[in-house]
Structure 1
Amino acid sequence: MKNLSKYTVIGLFMMLLGLTACGDSKSETANNKEGNSEMEKAHLEGEAEEVMLTSKQFDVLQMKVDTLRMRNMSGYIEANGQLEVPPQNEATITSVVGANVVSIEVIEGDKVNKGQTVAYLSHPNIIQKQTDYLNAYTNSQFLKKEFERQKTLYDAGVSSGANFQKAEAEYQASRSMASGLEAQLLQLNVSASGVRNGTIYQRVALRSPIEGFVQKVEVKTGQYVEPQTDLFEIVNTHHVHADLMVFEKDVYKVKKGQKVLFKVQSVPGKELTAEIYSISKTFEQNPKALHVHAEIENKEGNLIPGMYIKGRILTNNDMTTALPESAIAKDGDRSYVFVVENEDKNWNFVPVEITKGIQDGEWIVVNFLTDQESNTKYAYNNAYYLMAEMKKGESEEEGH
C-alpha cells in the first residue's frame, strides 16, 4: 500500500505538470493572438501604405491627376441642345446662271479663305453674257460721242432741241444696259475691264464669300447646275456656340451671364464651359422651350455645328469640393482617394480617407478627415485599381 501510494503521488505530480504546461501554452497562444490583433490594428491605424507606378505604367493606365476642384453640385437646371454658329458664319455657294461644273477645287473639310475659288463653271450662256456686255459697252461709247456732239450743236443754236433730247435718251439707255450687264459679269466673277480689252473668259470661278471650312460638296465634275442650286456649304466654326433648349417651367431661373457645363461626344471625358449671352424671347412649340445661346469658353477638339450636347445651367454659385466617381475607392465601409507624388519619374499614390456627400452624375462631393494643402494633387481615375494593388502588396508582405 505504501508503494502504491508512492506511485500514485508521482502520477498526480506528473498530471499537475502537464496541466500547468497546457495552461501556459493556452495563455501564450491567447497572448500571441492578442498581440497579433494589436499589431494588425497598429498596421491599419499607423503610417499609410502606398502604391508606386513607373512612368510606363502611369502612361499605360492613362492616369489623370489634378488638384482638387470646386464644383457646383446643386442649384442647376438640365438642358440639352446642339452646337450652332450665327447665320453670318454660314454660307451656301450657288451659281447665278445655269452652267456646267468643269473643275472642283476643294473637298469636304478643307479650310478656305474669303474669296478663294472652290470650283469653275463653263457654259455658252456665260460667253454670251460677255459678248452682250461688250456690244452694249461699245454702243454706249458711240452714243456718248453722238450725245456730246448734239449738245455742242444745241448750245450753239445750230441743232434743234428734239435731236439733242433724242441723243441724250439713247445714250442714257445704252449706258444703263452696259452697267446692268457689267453687274451680271461681276456676279459671275468675270473681269469687265478684261472683256472691254477683248478677252472672253471660257470659264468662271465660284468663290467662297466667307472664311471657314467646307461642310458639304453637293456637285460633281461635268454636272449641269440650274441657277440658285446649292453647290457648296461653308461654315466658320470659330464662333461655334452652345444652343440649349430650356423648358417653360425653368425659364424664370435663366439669366444672361450664367455658366453652363456641357459635354460633346467629340471631346470624350472633358467637360466644356460656356456663358449665356442671349436668351430667345419666343417659345418653340414642340417642345415648348426657349433657345438659350452660350459662348464656349474652353473650345477644344473638333466642335462641329449640329453636334448634340448635354448640359447644365448653373443657377447659383454654391461651390464645394468634388471628385469623379472613378477617383474614389472603398475598403470595407470606408472610402479613400489617392494623393499623388511624382519622384524620380515614378509616381507614388497614398490613400487618404474621406467621407462622401451627394452625387451628381459622375461627380461626388468629398469631405476630408484631415486638412489638405491647396496644391495637393489627386488621382482622378483608376482608384479601385490602386486600392487592389495596395492590398496585393500587403498580402505579399504578410506571406513573407
Structure 2
Amino acid sequence: MHFKKTSIYSLITIAVLSSCSGKKEEEKTVYENTKSSKNDQNIVHLSQQQLTTAGLTTTTLQNKNMLKLVRLNGKVNIAPSHISLLSSIMGGHIKSINVINGSHFSKGQVLAVVEDPQFIQLQQDYLVTKAQLESARLNLNRQKDLNTSKASSDKTLQTAQADYSTLNATLKGLEEKLRIIGINAKGLNSGNIRSRINVYAPFNGFVSKISVSNGQYINPSDTLFELINPAGLLLELKVFENDVNDLKIGQEIAVYTNQNPDKKSNAKIISMVPNIENGGSSIAIAKLSVPNSEYIMGMYMNAEVSINSRYTLGLPNEAIVSFENKNYVFEDMGKHTYKMIPVTTGISDDQFTEITKADFFKNKKIVEKGAYSLLMMLKNKAE
C-alpha cells in the first residue's frame, strides 16, 4: 500500500511539472510571435513583380551645402503713421461724396464737396480788405509827400502807416484761410465767388471708411474719411521660438499670398518684437520694398527667409515620408526587404533635407524613389 501511494504522488508531481512546462513554452511562443509581429509592422517584403512595378532606387547620406529656409505666416497691417482721418477745414453741409469704401484715389483728387454761406463771406471779406488796402496804400504815399513838405503832421503819417500795416496783415490772413480751403486768392474777383469748397486727397491711397452722408452738416472737428496710405503697409509675421535667433533686422524676405503662391514680392525685416508669446512665438515686422496695391489690411500672408548656408548631412526630399506628423525613411535590408525607420529632420531646401543624429544612417542604403509607395504598402498591410 505504501508503494502505491508513493507512485501516485510521483505521477501527480510529474503531471503538474509537465503542465507548468507546457504553459511556459506556450507563453514563450506567444511572446516571440508577438515580438515578431511588432517588428513586422515596420517591414515590407516585395515580390519580384512588385519590385519591378515600384521602380525603387536607393541613396545614401550626402554632405550638402544647404540653406535654411524659414517659413513664416501672418497678416497685412498699416503703420499708424499712414492711417489718416480727413476732415474739412471749415464746417458746412456735405454737397457730394465722390468715393466709396475701398476706392483708390490720387493725391489732389476731389473726395467730397462742402457748401456753406461762410465761404462766400470769407471771399467777400478778402476782396473788401484788398480794396481797402489799395486805398490805404495810396493814402500812405500821399501822407509821405505831404509830410516831406511839412504840409501834414507826423501823427497823421503814423496813422496812415498803421492803417496800411493792419489791412495788409488782415489781407495776408484771409489769403491764407482761402488757401487752406482750396481757393486761390490771387485769381479771386467779384465774378467768381463761390459757396462750395472741395475736400482734396492729401496723398495716393484708398478709402477705408466713410463717416458722413450727403446733406449732413459737419463741424471742422468731424471726420469725413479714414484714408490709408499704402506706403505704410507692414507685414506682421509669426516667428517660432526655434527660428527667432536666425532672423535679423535688415534681412530680405519673399512674401506671397495664399491665392498666388508663385507671385512673390520682396520685403525687408524692419523690427523684431523682443517677446515670446504663450504659444512659443514672436513677431517680425517687415515692409515691402515696393508698395503693392493687391495687398490690403487684414490679408493673410506667407513669407520665406533664406538663412546662411552650411554643410550638413542630408537626404533627398523624396526619400523622406511623413505619417501621423512623424518623418520616416525606408532602409534597404536586402532580399527585397525594406524597413521603415523614424528620422529627425532639420533644415530643408527645394531638394534636400538635413538629417540630425545622422551617424545611425551612415553606410545604410535608403530608398529614394518609391519611398511613398512603400509607406502605402505598409499601411495597407497593417489594415
Give the TM-score of the pair, scaled to structure 2.
0.59
The one-letter code sitting in structure 2 at the alignment partner of 1:84 is I
Match of 1:83 among 74, 77, 81: 77
Distance in 2, Cα, partners of 1:176 & 1:224:
32
1:151 aligned to 2:167?
no
The one-letter code sitting in structure 2 at the alignment partner of 1:91 is S
How far 1:290 sits from its partner (Å)? 9.3
SS state of the match for residue 257, structure 1? coil
Q: Which has the higher contact order (CA 8 A, sep 6+)?
A: 2
Distance in 1, Cα, partners of 2:133 & 2:117:
24
How far 1:83 sits from its partner (Å)? 2.4
SS state of the match for residue 206, structure 1? strand
Alignment correspondent of 1:215: 208
Taking the TM superposition and a 5 Å limit, the aligned residue runs for 1:149-298 are 149-243=142-236, 255-260=248-253, 274-278=267-271, 293-296=285-288
Match of 1:99 among 92, 99, 118: 92
State how many pairs are aligned: 296
Q: Deviations over 1:147-198 (max 9, x none)?
A: 1111122233322111111100111101111111111111111221343344
How far 1:367 sits from its partner (Å)? 7.6
The one-letter code sitting in structure 2 at the alignment partner of 1:164 is L
1:90 and 1:233 in contact (8 A); partners too: yes
Alignment correspondent of 2:39: none
How far 1:240 sits from its partner (Å)? 2.1
Match of 1:302 among 270, 291, 294: 294
- CA RMSD between the two structures: 5.2
Identity %: 28
SS state of the match for residue 114, structure 2? strand
Match of 1:123 among 116, 126, 138: 116
2:123 and 2:193 in contact (8 A); partners too: yes
Alignment correspondent of 2:68: 72
The one-letter code sitting in structure 1 at the alignment partner of 2:269 is I
Match of 1:358 among 345, 356, 378: 345
How far 1:358 sits from its partner (Å)? 2.5
How far 1:228 sits from its partner (Å)? 2.6
Please list every run of 5 or more consecutive structure 2 residues that lacks an aligned counterpart in the other structure.
1-45, 58-65, 331-341, 356-364, 378-383
SS state of the match for residue 121, structure 1? strand
2:68 and 2:307 in contact (8 A); partners too: no
2:252 and 2:266 in contact (8 A); partners too: yes
How far 1:275 sits from its partner (Å)? 1.9
Match of 2:132 among 107, 127, 139: 139
How far 1:265 sits from its partner (Å)? 5.9
Distance in 2, Cα, partners of 1:254 & 1:73:
11
